[in-house]
Amino acid sequence: MKKYLTKGFILGLAFTSMFASAQDIYIPVVSKGYQHEFWQTVKKGSEAAAKEFNIRTNFVGPADETQVAQQIQLMEDMLIQNPKAILLSSLDVNALIPIVETAHSRGIIVATFDSGIASDLPVTFVATNNRSAGAVAADEMAKLIDQKGIVGIIAHVAGTSTAIERSEGFINRMKEKYPDITVLATQYSDGDPQKAMDKTIDMIRANTGLVGIYATNEGATLGVANAIQSNKLENKIKVIGFDSTEAIIDFVNQGIIQGFIVQDPFQMGYQGIKALSLALKGEPIEKQIDVAAGFVTKENMQDPVIQKLLYPLQ
């Protein structure tokens, strides 16, 4: 799926007009947030691609991942700036459709990354295969709990495609392969570590037979881990997380988290800007660009492939 711009295109941009520079091509990124390390790494990837392809960019996002109305306003603000294209990670699969339709009507190309929308208008979707990742999390959890017991899900934001798909992938795999595992109703934390911690503690108190918890993003994973650690339950409840930070890696090394799905947010940002630059040239691009993910444990953390996912900038 890898595609690269030709030298001819880069040179062509420089000579499109006697009075215009290549950086008249402006592609902003409208993210779901910016407070997590994940989004900061996406930003670095988008900036690296913009620099490589001589494109102006900007990275914006709402104050937190529940602010759908604020994200719509940010999209409206970007449209006023008349960009050639926009790279969007949507907070809601439906709520962002009208503003994307508005962009399309103005000739502004939109691509989505990480979390998409329920529309075919975006020219591509750059993301981890979240249902497959959820299924991997289920398989790994099943191994940890001897394929029996009660498990819970602490998801991030209800209505986002990532929360939906990562949860569905986990639930469906459990139904397909592990009849002796009961999955509780999904609890949502808005991706906030404190809310995730509170939801986890409530889940533990309400389900004395709980043996495992799956968390679906960075904030949820940190909250679950903090709850397990503060209640000294690391020998009773197994944890599978999603996304990577130094804090999450530390929890793995301490035995609080048994493993986590790691994505490649740098490549999401990089491939998103790159795909839009190709689309603006009129070149074909894949409708979906899958970004590699891996499963990290204490045992495989030093593997070179895993290290590259954990530290993409090194």
User: Which tens digit of pLDDT belongs to each residue from 47-67?
Assistant: 999 999 999 999 999 998 899
Q: Is the pLDDT of residue 17 over 90?
A: no
User: Which tens digit of pLDDT belongs to each residue from 240-252?
Assistant: 999 999 999 999 9
Q: What is the pTM of this model?
A: 0.80
User: Which tens digit of pLDDT belongs to each residue from 64-118?
Assistant: 889 999 999 999 999 999 999 999 999 999 999 999 999 999 999 999 999 999 9
For the chain, list the domains and their CATH numbers: 7-128+264-291 (3.40.50.2300), 130-262 (3.40.50.2300)
Stated as kind and residue range, the H or E segment containing 48 is helix 37-52
- 58 contacts: CB under 8 Å, gap ≥ 6: 26, 28, 29
The residue to which tokens 């630059």 are assigned: 277
pLDDT for the residue numbered 34? 84
Q: Is the pLDDT of residue 209 over 90?
A: yes
CA–CA gap between residue 113 and residue 268 (Å, rounded): 7
Query: HEC states along 182-226?
Result: EECCCEECCCCHHHHHHHHHHHHHHCCCEEEEEECCHHHHHHHHH
Contact 92, 67 (CB under 8 A): no
